[in-house]
């Protein structure tokens, strides 16, 4: 009879496992489970056979303790391996009790095995008369998909599943439905920086969130187990991602603008882009009424400021040509030729306060060296179109400023966002799939002087040279992909040639090539390779020579844009004449400063080619902030129009560390590094 019972169990398990990718186990006492099995046979059906009861078998005991609490989840209900009809009065009571006990307990873990050693189909016993007796035991036919071949231990794998399920459940309970709907609306309006990347995951999470909250309480944990193993980490652990911070902040009641600002500082700590604001028709009407009553209608139009707008009292420095311009004469100055950055390694460093107080009065001409890294510091002074309009700002004039806000995320920031180290002594990074049409798998390689190769087989393994590949992307999907090799200890690095290259590990018909960066001595060298590639091709990016006496030097490379590029009509890696130096308008007219002080170095020929916002909410008077959402929209609508002779150049905040090379003429003729 056991053979028939065993076959029915096997048939039931086979049907139960169809279409299942993951099995679960409930939190039973395994010794009690085995005891229930032995004690549930009807009277006189489990008698002593020789020395112990007939069904008291070590092989079957091992099976029941290892597999007896396995369940699947179907239609949000738990089904155990004992849930079937035997048509046998001896075994049916046994499996009914086993089934009731197993499903009465909560799910504890995902079922994980490395092999099938927990079961024995049958074996033979040699009897005293020389014959062999066959003993059959519990066994089932398990598909290979349920056997885990990873290097992790069973406990480690189970722990990962438990952690994912736990975070998923907390995400469903701690994030409100309203918060999800709000963020999806922001994404649909294209008002959330990098929001499109989360649209698919957040939409699915919204569906799961709604489904979870209509479950009966007894089924919610089951729902989380079955969904958490199938949705992927981006959804299951959504509260731990940047978008989760935004969702939790909105759920907690934080002001929407503050919540969005906090989120966008996380995903873009340097190149923060302000979101579009959410506002209603009624809010617009109320704001329009306030603006009209306070007399600010004429203040909304904005343009680039020029030298005629500025009084001599608010200028810290003006070169001779700008001084003439202030009197009505303007003369254009020519650019200097490109200068070798290495000449500035040992120049004198001067802090900005000392420069303004002691040095500026002694110089007649100033030139700044425009490095590529200063692109985010480009700034324009913005004036009202109507010079007689009232000031909308916290300070006593109607001037504002706008930094360069149209720069995409740098490769360095993307590496950092993916957990890569960008603070070493030598860095090599590659980037591709900027247009989301390049699904190639590129690999960053470095051939070290000692013959060692850093590449994907050694990912996350620190080498004796201190070099390590710490970011490795295989499938870009719909994201920009980067890889990163970083050296952190110059004393561990052998002298010689470091050969950096890009290896085409998998060609998938991508057409847009790749970019690369090499950074050392606080200078970033960028490269582009925009040709078609071939499977297995190795593209040499650069050779960097390292010596203890000479440091790092690029001796061979692809074309590098370190030589120069044009931004705001100025060539980088050139000296440019400073026309005027001034504080930001919130420190003009000897007024007590409101907010951070900025130092503006306006450059001859510098022309902002973007259309920045006319103003930003952080500049506005307090009585206008009641309508801050409408003003944010107005600021983006009332963009600054193009004009000639604009006051644009480089700006430096007093709160952020930075530096720039200055060449001075006059009674203090020398080259210095100005420190902010």
The mean pLDDT of 454-465, rounded to a whole number, is 94
Q: State the greatest distance between any 2 C-alpha atoms of the chain, in Å, as a whole number.
A: 126
- List the beta bridge partners of residue 650: 378, 601
Task: Classify 433 in phi/psi space as left (phi over 0), alpha (psi -120 to 50) or beta.
Answer: left
Of 406 and 526, the one with more pLDDT? 526
pLDDT at 284 exceeding the cut of 50: yes
Q: How far is CA 631 from CA 261, 292, 623, in A?
A: 16, 13, 12
Residue 599's pLDDT is 94
pLDDT score, position 268: 57
Per-residue pLDDT, averaged over 210-233, amounts to 90
Q: What are 166's two structure tokens?
A: 């736990």
Mean pLDDT over the full length of the chain: 83
> Any idea of the CA torsion for 243, 245, 251, 253, to the nearest 10 degrees?
-120
The pLDDT assigned to 334 comes to: 31
Which among 476, 482, 563, 471 has a CA at the least distance from the CA of 526?
563
The residue-averaged pLDDT of 26-47 equals 86
Angle at 176 between CA 209 and CA 220, to 5 degrees: 40
Q: What percent of the chain has pLDDT over 70?
A: 86
DSSP 181-210: HHHHHHHHTT-STTGGGGHHHHHHHHHHHH
Split at pLDDT 50, 70, 90, the class of 480 is: confident
Task: Inform me whether the pLDDT recorded for 83 exceeds 90.
Answer: yes
User: Residue range 563-572: average pLDDT?
Assistant: 79
Measured distance between the N- and C-terminal CA atoms of the chain, rounded to whole angstroms: 88
Q: Which of 184-198, 234-248, 258-272, 615-629 has the highest mean pLDDT?
A: 234-248
> What pLDDT is recorded for position 261?
81
What pLDDT was estimated at residue 407?
A: 35
What is the mean pLDDT of the segment spanning 6-13? 92
pLDDT at 515: 86
pLDDT at 1: 77
Residue at token pair 């349920």: 146
Strands 670-675 and 348-351: parallel
pLDDT-based confidence at residue 325 (cuts at 50, 70, 90):
low
Q: What's the whole-number mean pLDDT along residues 323-348?
A: 46
What is the distance between the alpha carbons of residues 35 and 442, in angstroms, rounded to a whole number?
Answer: 58
Q: Quote the pLDDT of residue 47.
A: 59
pLDDT band of 251, cuts 50, 70, 90: very high
Which is more confidently placed, 275 or 304?
A: 304
pLDDT value of residue 636: 57
Read off the pLDDT band of 104 (50, 70, 90). Answer: very high
The 10s digit of each residue's pLDDT in 423-459 is 899 999 999 887 667 889 999 999 999 999 999 999 9
Lowest mean pLDDT, pick from 125-129, 195-199, 403-407: 403-407
User: For residues 297 and 453, which has the higher predicted lDDT (pLDDT)?
Assistant: 453
pLDDT bin (cut points 50, 70, 90) of residue 593 is low
Which structural domains are found in the chain, ordered by start?
2-146 (no CATH), 154-267 (no CATH), 297-404+568-675 (no CATH), 411-562 (2.60.60)
Q: pLDDT value at position 600?
A: 95
Contact 647, 310 (CB under 8 A): yes
pTM, entire model: 0.43
Binned at pLDDT 50, 70 and 90, residue 489 comes out as very high
Lowest mean per-residue pLDDT among 46-60, 99-113, 215-229, 352-366: 46-60
Paired tokens of 302:
């904005």
Q: Which of 39-53, 130-144, 348-362 has the highest mean pLDDT?
A: 348-362
Judged against a pLDDT cut of 80, whether residue 315 lies above it is answered with yes
What does the pLDDT read at residue 433? 84
Predicted pLDDT at 67: 93
The predicted structure's pLDDT at residue 464: 96
């Amino acid at each position: 009879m056991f053979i028939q019972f065993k076959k029915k169990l096997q048939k039931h398990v086979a049907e139960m496992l169809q279409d299942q990718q993951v099995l679960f186990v409930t939190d039973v006492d395994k010794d009690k489970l085995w005891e229930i099995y032995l004690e549930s046979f009807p009277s006189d059906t489990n008698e002593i056979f020789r020395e112990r009861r007939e069904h008291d078998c070590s092989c079957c005991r091992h099976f029941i303790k290892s597999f007896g609490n396995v369940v699947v989840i179907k239609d949000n209900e738990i089904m155990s391996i004992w849930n079937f009809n035997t048509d046998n009065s001896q075994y049916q009571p046994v499996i009914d009790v086993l089934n009731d006990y197993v499903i009465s307990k909560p799910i504890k873990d995902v079922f994980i095995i490395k092999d099938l050693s927990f079961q024995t189909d049958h074996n033979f016993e040699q009897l005293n008369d020389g014959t062999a007796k066959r003993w059959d035991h519990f066994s089932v036919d398990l598909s290979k998909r349920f056997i885990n071949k990873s290097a992790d231990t069973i406990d480690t794998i189970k722990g990962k599943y438990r952690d994912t399920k736990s975070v998923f459940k907390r995400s469903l309970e701690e994030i409100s439905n309203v918060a999800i709907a709000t963020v999806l609306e922001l994404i649909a309006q294209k008002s959330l920086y990098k929001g499109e990347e989360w649209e698919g995951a957040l939409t699915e999470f919204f569906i799961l969130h709604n489904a979870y909250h209509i479950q009966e309480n007894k089924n919610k944990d089951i729902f989380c187990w079955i969904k958490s193993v199938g949705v992927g980490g981006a959804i299951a652990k959504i509260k731990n991602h940047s978008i989760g911070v935004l969702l939790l902040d909105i759920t907690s009641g934080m002001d929407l603008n503050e919540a969005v600002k906090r989120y966008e500082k996380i995903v873009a700590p340097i190149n923060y882009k302000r979101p579009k604001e959410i506002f209603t028709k009624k809010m617009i009407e109320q704001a329009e009424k306030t603006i009209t009553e306070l007399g600010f209608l004429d203040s909304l139009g904005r343009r680039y400021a020029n030298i005629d707008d500025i009084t001599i009292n608010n200028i810290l420095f003006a070169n001779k040509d700008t001084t003439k311009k202030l009197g009505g004469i303007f003369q254009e100055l020519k650019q200097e030729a490109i200068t070798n950055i290495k000449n500035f390694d040992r120049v004198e460093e001067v802090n900005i306060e000392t420069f303004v107080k002691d040095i500026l009065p002694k110089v007649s001409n100033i030139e700044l060296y425009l490095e590529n890294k200063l692109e985010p510091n480009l700034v324009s002074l913005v004036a009202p179109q109507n010079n007689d309009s009232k000031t909308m700002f916290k300070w006593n004039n109607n001037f504002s400023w706008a930094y360069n806000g149209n720069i995409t995320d740098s490769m360095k920031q993307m590496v950092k966002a993916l957990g890569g180290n960008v603070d070493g002594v030598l860095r090599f990074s590659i980037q591709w799939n900027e247009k989301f049409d390049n699904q190639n798998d590129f690999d960053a390689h470095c051939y070290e002087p000692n013959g060692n190769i850093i590449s994907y087989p050694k990912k996350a393994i620190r080498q004796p040279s201190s070099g390590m590949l710490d970011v490795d992307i295989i499938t870009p999907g719909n994201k920009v992909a980067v890889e990163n090799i970083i050296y952190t200890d110059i004393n561990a690095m052998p002298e010689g040639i470091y050969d950096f290259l890009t290896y085409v590990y998998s060609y998938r018909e991508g057409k847009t090539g790749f970019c690369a960066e090499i950074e050392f001595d606080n200078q970033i060298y960028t490269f582009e390779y925009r040709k078609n590639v071939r499977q297995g091709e190795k593209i040499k990016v650069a050779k960097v020579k390292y010596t203890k006496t000479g440091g790092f030097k690029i001796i061979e490379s692809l074309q590098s844009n370190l030589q120069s590029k044009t931004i705001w009509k100025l060539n980088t890696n050139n000296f440019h004449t400073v026309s005027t130096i001034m504080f930001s308008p919130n420190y003009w007219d000897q007024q007590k400063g409101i907010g951070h002080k900025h130092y503006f170095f306006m450059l001859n020929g510098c022309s902002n080619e973007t259309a920045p916002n006319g103003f930003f909410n952080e500049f506005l008077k307090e009585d206008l902030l009641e309508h801050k959402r409408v003003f944010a929209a107005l600021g983006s609508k009332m963009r600054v129009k193009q004009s000639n002779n604009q006051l644009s150049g480089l700006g430096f905040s007093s709160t952020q560390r930075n530096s720039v090379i200055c060449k001075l003429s006059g009674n203090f003729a020398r080259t210095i590094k100005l420190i902010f």
